[in-house]
């Protein structure tokens, strides 16, 4: 998942992202290290937060655009 890359590019800390998504900071850390996988609702929240497609977030495409 490209979460860490997107988070750093936007200049957002793990703590800030966790607060904005209403999850624990440790959860964000585990997503970034691959220790844990986000459920589909959380994937949608993360993709919307960074305004990217879920496919981009998961590394399935290099196109950031969403279909909105």
Which residue blocks in the chain are alpha helix, DSSP H?
Answer: 3-10, 14-21, 25-33, 40-50, 54-57
Contacts of 52 (CB under 8 A, 6+ apart): 2, 6, 64, 65, 66
Contact 28, 18 (CB under 8 A): yes
Burial (CB count <10 Å: 0-12, 13-18, 19+), residue 42: middle
Tell me which fold the domain 3-57 belongs to.
Answer: 434 Repressor (Amino-terminal Domain) (1.10.260)
Token pair, residue 66, equals: 């969403």
- Per-residue pLDDT tens digits for 34-63: 999 999 999 999 999 999 999 999 999 998
Global pTM value: 0.89
The predicted-structure confidence for 2-38, as pLDDT tens digits, reads as follows 999 999 999 999 999 999 999 999 999 999 999 999 9
């Amino acid at each position: 998942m490209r979460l860490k890359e997107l988070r750093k590019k936007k200049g957002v800390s793990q703590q800030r992202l966790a607060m904005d998504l209403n999850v624990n900071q440790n959860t964000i850390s585990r997503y970034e290290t691959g220790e844990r996988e986000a459920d589909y609702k959380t994937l949608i929240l993360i993709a919307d937060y960074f305004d990217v497609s879920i496919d981009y977030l998961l590394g399935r495409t290099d196109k950031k655009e969403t279909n909105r």
